[in-house]
Chains A and B, each alone.
Chain A
Amino acid sequence: MKKLKYERPLIKKMNAGLMNKFGTRTEFQPVKAIDGVPVTQLISEYGSPLFVLSERQMRKNYRSAARSFKTRYPKVQFAWSYKTNYLNAVCQIFHQEGSWAEVVSGFEYRKALGNGVAGEHIIFNGPDKHRDELILAIENDSLIHIDHFDELYNLIELCDELNKKPRVAIRINMDTGVYPLWDRFGFNYENGQAWNALSKIVGSGRMRLTGLHCHIGTFMLSTNAYAVAAGKLCELAYRCKTLLSTPIQYLDLGGGFPSTNTLKGAYLPGVDTVPSVDDFAEAITTTILNFGFKQDELPLLILESGRVLIDDAGYLLGSVIANKRLSDGRRATVMNFGVNILFTSFWYEHKISPAQDFDQYTEDMVLYGPLCMNIDVVRESINLPLLNPGDHVVVHKVGAYNMTQWMQFISMRPSVVLIDEQQNIHEIRQAEKLEYMEQLEQMPAHLQQYKLA
């Protein structure tokens, strides 16, 4: 006689408290495949944990976002935010779609050049641009976005030395009604600092002021803040034209559009609360179009979106190491991935799905990572079916920031694979090995030997 399917015994206390007024339930659908490729196949070929990226979803996101803006405004340019995910294969997908590169360090700048992006299509942001990097950017005719007065004065000196007139913009911070105010980057609008910087640039005669840039925050949930920002940039552009006789060629509204992840502490899930790219596009383009530019003087609108274009194209596959019960009776499950590779678990309540069939019984549990560190908590409370050691799970929406902010800490970083539009699998970054980790280390001669007593 065939034996019955086993499931570990479980009792669950029934609480007669208030009902969930939103009527939401935890949704359980096993995710057995990503873009048609079975999770078990991916794990058996590339190991667990494993990052999986969907090329189809990335392209879909880009085309959808581009359509949102281009159907509302005649001159739009996206620039891929390298810091969001600078794996070369990822960058190439967005460059193939037409994105320029937006970089915030010399390292990223060189990566963009290596990816074949023409210098004139690289936007160089950030507060830490070294002299040699500025020279490279000037020589390549890149768009240099100045962050502070020291950088501005350094640039003036460099222009004298090189006898070149680089294309520059300034980053502007401002009050858009969203707090805390992001005023650490760029020049302030309200106190006149931004105007001073613009006047100095034009007055120096050594640079070509071509654009105005702002980046008002990250994971912004208010579309109105972008309307306010766009309005202030338009006002400055108008003053540049009328008072400095310098027409502004582009307005760069930066990034900050949210993905549909749920922020920690949020009352409702991200999918229900986050504005769409269409909403942001409407707020920004309506403001610029209504400002009163002449049709042939409309500035180019640049967007530096990253997260919204890639977050939901990334998955992390992982496996259960162990189950245990904590002193207060709560269930705890130890996974083979933790905050070391899933940095965004500090910010989000990531959606996690089992990758195999299960029964209808579920348990509240804490989800720990594998690190021998108390902070390694992936989810403080999550309701999941009964998971056994060796079972696989899929973590959703991990495409942004994890593959750049991941840490080699206690364990090494896993492989990243890309599933292309024909469902072929490509390993775009191999799992790290001990030899790779130790490549840069050097051992002084007097430390090369020892004898244990």
Chain B
Amino acid sequence: MSAVATRGRVDSPPERPRRTGGRRFRISENVAGYLFLSPWLVGLFVIVIGPMIASLYLSFTEYNPLTTPTWIGLDNYVRLFSDDPRYIASLKVTLVYVVVSVPLQLAFALFLAMVLDKGLRGLSFYRSVYYLPSLLGSSVAIAILWRRVFSGDGLVNSFLGVFGVEGRSWISEPATAVYTLVALSVWTFGAPMVIFLAGLRQIPDMYYEAAAVDGAGRVRRFFAITVPLLTPVIFFNLILQMIGAFQAFTPAFVVSDGTGGPVDSTLFYTLYLYQEGFASFRMGYASAMAWVLFVVIALFTALNFAGSKYWVFYGDER
């Protein structure tokens, strides 16, 4: 936003020689530029920044959406951390989900990217096939499918049955329900995989050749060459997937019928937020939750950036 405005000013210093009509043309060109920008600009203000400011205000109110908000100061925020065990439970569930699912998903994506990078025939076909789950993963249909796959008489148990292992209803057992959602997230590894693939392609073959000549084995080459050179891409994927995991909603909503059950074991942060705002008519409280989530995500991202200088290696550094 500010970058655009600055450029506009720099573009029209008076001392620059101009041909007739140039100034008018510049202005109308700027207007055209802004107009082209306007769908995004309008979207940003009307459906992002505006609602964000509104929700910040609402987070200091008691707001039943059927009536009008009343100012209650910090009460919502105080209640979040002092008087709402379900909120704390939802935080825990979400943290477990983020901490378990993100590394697993990245590891899986990297593994498949490496397999596909081996110059497989029909690579673009496999790439598309492996990317498919990412397109479908957050859809309602897949979440319903997941319910079936992990239910008592579902696919997973039939498979385990082959080995004589008696499964349980994974999705309706409080101890395992959240891990079925972790599995769903790992399964949608396509997006990071494609980015990893691109990153792997950037690593010059000569490094590997040189290492091979020096007698480095596969594992050694992976840890000494691939991983260090790939760290910027890993970091990028990590940030993206982490933010996405904090905000996960659809799978838990569909798999648990919107309840976060069994007994709150899949009560993701956003799901609880939604329940409070829309089912329990506490939109002010839900807004406070949204802002806390915003701060939490910002914090985690900042921590990651701070930590990144110890392990992320950019090619131009020594």
Q: Please indicate whether A and B come from the same complex rather than being unrelated chains.
A: no
Using a CB–CB cutoff of 8 Å, the interface residues on chain B facing chain A are none
